[in-house]
Structure 1
Amino acid sequence: MGPSEDHTRPDGTDDLTVEALGNISEALEAVEIARGHLYTFHRLSGTADFTLGKGVRQLREAGHSDLADRFERELVGRNVLEGRWTFQIVEEYDDGYYTLFKSLEKIARDALVEGRRHLYEAELKEGRRTHGRDGHEARPGS
């Protein structure tokens, strides 16, 4: 048994189209990773600010009020970019670049290959797997 219909190119679809959509999909995967790193940046920046706050309280308790005041005034709760905390950066990225990228990638798949995903990878799998061998099935349950 071969790949499911969802992972087989529609009749008349040429190699270059499948390759192009594969590259667009690969680019989207990189964007997904970048988005994950952006969320990591968001989480780490928030953690740093709260940990900084704890350190500033400890400075104050240790009698270093002037230095604690300066940290509190200049750094605790400060914007990481002009006018923005990290949640605002994440929202702008998600609502702009990320949403547009996902939308255009889906539009291309819908227009060119009936919405099918990962055709390039599915064809790579077909070419690399050992047909009829355990662990090399085309899909689950085959």
Structure 2
Amino acid sequence: MTDTTTTTRAHDDGPDEAHRIPEGVDDATVEAVGKLTAALEVVEQARGMLYGVHRMTGRADNDLVEALEALDEAGHGDLARQIREDLFGQNVLRYRWTFQVVEDYDDHYWSKWRHWEQEARDRLMQGRRHVYEAQLKEQNRTHGRRDHEARPAPGE
């Protein structure tokens, strides 16, 4: 049986300074900023999916070129021409290719989320990130147990 306990080490005495609750900040504020950060993380995930749509749509367009060439080579040039004229290079959304959708999302939505989440952290948490999550970790980990340390050891 493996011993999974350790003696308390410096890296096991709670969150590092960057993740501790700033002096004078109450739990309700920590939780509220944590919720704002969690909401931003959903926007970040949606942004990633949008970039995935952008990349996959580009890939589909490239694959379409190959398919149209194959139709041409198989003797179906008229059908290939009709598909090329109607589908190839078409806007994905009205008036936009996916790069324009991504840029619009970034410029008019995602950037505002990033700004206001940062602003809230700067005003209320001295700019510290993930303070709420660090407090959850402190509550949920088994203090003194190996693989439950508060933070990496120096140099790790």
| TM-score, normalised by the number of residues in structure 2 | 0.87
Q: Which amino acid is 1:63 matched to?
A: G
The letter for the 1-side match of 2:49 is H
Answering whether residue 79 of structure 2 is matched by residue 72 of structure 1, we say no
Alignment of 1:44-59 (within 5 A): 44-59=56-71
| Structure in which a larger fraction of residues adopt helix | 1
**Identity within the alignment, %:** 55
Number of the residue aligned with 1:97: 109
Structure 1 counterpart of 2:96, one-letter code: R
Is 1:30 the equivalent of 2:14? no
Aligned residue among 21, 24, 28 for 1:16: 28
Structure 1 gap segments, 5+ residues each: none
Query: Distance between the aligned counterparts of 1:24 and 1:121, measured in 2?
Result: 12
Shift of 1:11: 1.6
> Structure 1: which 4+ aligned runs deviate by more than 3 Å?
none
Match of 2:119 among 102, 107, 118: 107
Identify which of 139, 143, 150 aligns with 1:127: 139
Q: Distance in 2 between matches of 1:136 and 1:59?
A: 59
* Counterpart position of 2:6: none
Which of 1 and 2 has higher RCO (CA within 8 Å, sep 6+)?
A: 2
C-alpha offsets along residues 13-40 of structure 1, whole Å, 9 cap, x if unaligned? Answer: 1111111111111111111111110011
Tell me the CA shift for residue 113 of structure 1: 0.8
Q: Which of 36, 39, 42 is the equivalent residue of 2:54?
A: 42
Which residue in the other structure is 2:7 paired with? none
Pair 1:140-2:152 in alignment: yes
Secondary structure in structure 2 of the residue aligned to 1:12 = coil
In the aligned structure 2, how far is the partner of 1:65 from the partner of 1:133? 69
Q: Which consecutive unaligned segments of at least 5 residues does structure 2 have?
A: 1-12
Number of equivalenced pairs:
142
- The code of the aligned residue for 1:125 comes to K
- Report the aligned-residue RMSD: 1.1
TM-score normalized by the length of structure 1: 0.96
CA–CA separation in structure 1 for the residues paired with 2:21 and 2:146: 25
